[in-house]
A and B are shown apart, each in its own frame.
Chain A
């Protein structure tokens, strides 16, 4: 019985008895939790973007030039996402070497992405595009910071995953956390592509 049908049950006339399987989604609880969290994060970024569009409509808005470096950063983030997916797939195939390689490349690329974003900030500041100079600049610095903070939170999970992979002899025990890391990175890659597209288009 699907979710909608379930909500149309009349419990006062339904047969009294035990429903053997009444738990929620078939997905594992951590995955459901991550799903809910990603919905919340989507709302957060959605609201920032809505505010961006509304503020854009005012006369003092001057679009910020997008540093070419951001293209490279985007490629690096895509690489980190692919690497973590590789780690997750390797865990399913019980290939410990693949897991470690995926984790190290994924984490390393993420750190390089941070450096790249910081360098992009430096370039803009050298050109005189300070955070307070124009609302467009303010949004750029704020959105990249919020995105980076989310990625940093992901790195905390990445550290736990790496430590678990090293401690545990059975790679299967790390399967869930690796899958969650990969999903989270894909999500943040998607958010970055939307933000980058927004900056390019406006």
Chain B
């Protein structure tokens, strides 16, 4: 291995490299340029738009769920089967088809080549195929709404045996489409993920050493490595479950009597499925969180005009969190029962993961400390993220302990916890990132007034939704229930006031869902009516803001690739002319016009 990074023998200036622009594939037709494009930026937009479209469907499903929970019995078209189908599809779409695809396929494709100073991904054709396989997986998944029996209602964790037993909605076609769709998603992602990892390893421009990379790239890179090693577990589980369902093998299916009939299965292990699922499922939390961590570090540093505090620790924390995420999976299975020593091990590793995470939080706060904080829309979302991740992280410490988890496991406390860490936090990071990079993608600014309105209603609204859920959980309100005995639709042991809270949560959910239309309107209208952004509206140091054209053209950097002379966080450097020094400004030229 001959990786070199020798700051002490660095030279002051070397002529920029004219590199391999002619090696890029240049499309000759409109279809080749905008549909079957091999340009990572177009592929990023395709990923993002597909993910957001399917995410909107999942958002509507969540509103339907809230209508049932807030006002049970009022909406007759929401049957018990439909409700559990909504729960399942909402969860799977949001976690995999929206967040994973958006962070890695969307932001990864757009930002990695630009931020590391590459012309494109190392294998553009494979990158393009990756998107089309993802789209195929999405179509397969959505097709399950139109097959007999509808989509699967197995819950997003797809636990056997009930997943493929008669009586579970979608046990015939819905579950098959879900499993096949997941298998295709994994294949497509692997093709894309290989590209992201190898591009970061091999295609960095001159001077872009690993420790000069922006934290956004570190977050996406590490998350991709995690995903490449975690998704095979989902793939294995999906294949084995498909064989159980179609051919009648007994990998996961135990000997079982269903609706009075003894089925042909014998001796399979549902817990084996749980192990495989959560070996993927827990790293998945960090597959979503690590890119968000990277993005938030970027936003906080840029909009506080201050270098990130503890860059090296931030990098190590990302790597350590990634590593630890592979040895905590069974904390999702405390209620399945396990050897107490295993419970102790998994509780311990779960709590240890709080250490690098806390380091990141401290570093964000210390970056803000005495910074020149600009309360721009991206900064608002970044601060919102830090608040929310602390909240969600703290309840994670509760649930990481076996003795606390067992009584809370099947209640709304868990729903509140994982939505705070896995849904609200990443979504706030996504919004912050969109407001931050939209000017580079389109050349126009998003409308700030609409952005602030969007932030405040979303942020306050989300807390109105998820804070009360903690109380519901502590009261013992069970999750996954459609309705029960009693006029409130809740079990008899739950007080009436819980239903008032439920109705309030539903109203907040409807408001938050509605305000996303303002965001979409802003996105659409600003492409033509937004204020012109220029090349570097935020005064940022990283390479994507140093392109000669905005939006960047095919090949990203024109004739010459940039050379990198410094790290990504030279903000407010004493003696410099501007309060930022781009990474491609050579040593000794800081006092000139850095732009």
Contacts and interface: CB of A to CB of B under 8 A. Distances in A.
Interface of A: 1-3, 5-12, 14-26, 29, 32-33, 36-37, 39-40, 43-44, 47-48, 51, 54-55, 58-61, 131-132, 135, 138, 142, 146
How many interface residues does chain B have, given as a range?
35 or more
B266 A60 contact: yes
B3 A24 contact: yes
Contacts of B437: none
Interface stretch (B36-44, B209-217, B388-396, B517-525): B209-217
B267 A18 contact: no
Nearest to B232: A44
Given A18-B207, A36-B228, A12 B567 contact: yes
A1 to B, nearest CB: 5
12 contacts: A1-B4, A7-B211, A9-B5, A11-B7, A11-B209, A15-B8, A17-B565, A20-B10, A20-B11, A22-B209, A47-B279, A58-B268
Most buried by B among A16, A40, A43: A16
Contact of A23 (B202, B236, B312): B202
B572 to A, nearest CB: 13
A33 B10 contact: no
A18 B236 contact: no
B190 A18 contact: no
B10 A21 contact: no
Contacts of B563: 18
Given A16-B565, A26-B2, A44-B232, A131 B249 contact: yes
A14 B569 CA distance: 13
Contacts of B267: 58-61, 135
A2 B11 contact: no
B567 A22 contact: no
Given A17-B11, A22-B207, A44 B201 contact: no
A20 B211 contact: no
A60 to B, nearest CB: 3
B307 A33 contact: no
Contact of A135 (B197, B249, B307, B587): B249
B13 A9 contact: no
Contacts of A5: 5
A53 to B, nearest CB: 10
Interface string B182-224: 0000000010001001101111111111111000000000000
Contacts of B4: 1, 6, 19, 21-22
Interface of B: 1-8, 10-14, 122-123, 190, 194, 197-198, 200-212, 228-229, 232-233, 235-236, 239-240, 243, 247-251, 264, 266-269, 272, 275-276, 279, 307, 311-312, 315-316, 563-567, 569, 586-587
A32 B14 contact: no
A120 to B, nearest CB: 19
A25 B202 contact: yes
A19 B311 contact: no
A117 B565 CA distance: 57
Nearest to B201: A24
A24 B7 contact: no
A142 B250 CA distance: 13
Contacts of A8: 312
A60 B272 CA distance: 15
Contacts of B13: 17-18
B10 A17 contact: yes
Nearest to B5: A6
Nearest to B235: A44
A135 B250 contact: yes
Contacts of B235: 44
Contacts of B207: 18-19, 22
Contacts of B203: 23, 29
A73 to B, nearest CB: 23
Contacts of A131: 243, 247, 249
Contact of B208 (A20, A22, A29, A146): A22
A46 B210 CA distance: 30
Nearest to B15: A18
Contacts of A61: 267
Contacts of A33: 122-123, 194, 198
B469 to A, nearest CB: 34
B307 A15 contact: no
Most buried by B among A3, A61, A142: A142
Contacts of A60: 250, 266-267
A182 to B, nearest CB: 20
A1 B2 CA distance: 8
Most buried by B among A25, A37, A51: A51
A131 B14 CA distance: 64
A16 B575 CA distance: 15
A48 to B, nearest CB: 6
Contacts of A1: 3-6
Nearest to B319: A7
Contacts of A14: 7-8, 10, 211, 567
B514 to A, nearest CB: 42
Contacts of B232: 40, 43-44, 47
Contacts of A39: 228-229
Given A3-B1, A58-B269, A17 B198 contact: no
A16 to B, nearest CB: 4
A141 B122 CA distance: 36
Contacts of B1: 2-3, 25-26
A47 B563 CA distance: 42
Nearest to B252: A55
Contact of A11 (B11, B279, B311): B311
Nearest to B587: A16
A142 to B, nearest CB: 7
B268 to A, nearest CB: 7
Contacts of B566: 11, 16
> Which 10 residue pairs of A and B lie closest in terms of their CB atoms, listed nearest first?
A14-B7, A60-B267, A17-B10, A26-B2, A11-B567, A16-B587, A138-B249, A24-B201, A44-B232, A6-B5
A157 B228 CA distance: 22
B240 A19 contact: no
Nearest to B272: A54
Contacts of A21: 4, 206
A21 B272 CA distance: 47
A124 to B, nearest CB: 15
B204 A55 contact: no
B10 to A, nearest CB: 3
B587 A15 contact: yes
Given A24-B204, A33-B194, A9 B7 contact: yes
Given A3-B3, A25-B1, A60-B266, A47 B11 contact: no
Contacts of B5: 1, 5-6, 9, 19, 22
